[in-house]
Amino acid sequence: MVPQQLLQPRPARILVVEDEVLVRALIAEELRLAGFSVIEANRADDALTYIRAGQQVDLVFSDIQTPGLLDGLQLAETLRDKYPDIPVILTSGNDDPKYVGILGTFVPKPYDITKTIELMSAILAQKSPGER
């Protein structure tokens, strides 16, 4: 008999990259309430280190302006090249979405959390269970 836990799909893991701690804590809490598992990074560098360490990530939600060596656009570019199975949603209060191009979906700040979660769910639904 297979334990019930093994039959249930694991929650999708969303890596949130945001250096404003109050903003990050808010979106992380809402995502957890929606049933996601959330990893909180304050820098794109840390996010990439986490992924390179082999940790499971199903979607990245990143601010474009982040401290450190990489910004959100460079993170998205690296993920597109090295980890194409990880979809990226970029957000910013300043950047013109045309700069985002094919790197990911753009959500302008301030964003509606409910609509953003719906967008994440829709993107994750397009991934097959085997990819998760």
Partner 1 sequence: MSDPCILIVEKDLLVRTPLAEYLRECGYLVLEASSAGDARTLLEDGSRRIDIVLAEVKSGEPSGFALASWVRTHLPNTQVVLAGTVATAAEKAGDICQEGPALSKPYDHRLVLDDIQRLLAARDRNDRT
Q: Where do contacts with partner 1 occur on this chain (CB under 8 A)?
A: 21-22, 25, 28, 32, 37, 39-43, 46-47, 49-50, 53, 55
Residue of 107, 94, 121 whose CA lies nearest to 62: 107
Instruction: Give the whole-angstrom CA distance, residue 124 versus residue 44.
Output: 21
Hey, what's the torsion of the CAs at 129, 47, 22, 71, to 10 degrees? -120
Residue 37 CB, nearest distance to partner 1 (Å)?
A: 7
Q: Minimal distance in Å, beta carbon 98 to partner 1? A: 31
Contact (Cβ atoms closer than 8 angstroms) between residue 104 and residue 88: yes
**For partner 1, the closer CB: 52 or 97:** 52
Q: Which is nearer to partner 1, 82 or 97 (CB)?
A: 82
In whole angstroms, what is the distance from residue 99 CA to residue 37 CA?
Answer: 29
CB of 76 to partner 1, least distance (A): 18
**In the complex, least distance from residue 25 CB atom to partner 1, rounded to whole angstroms:** 6
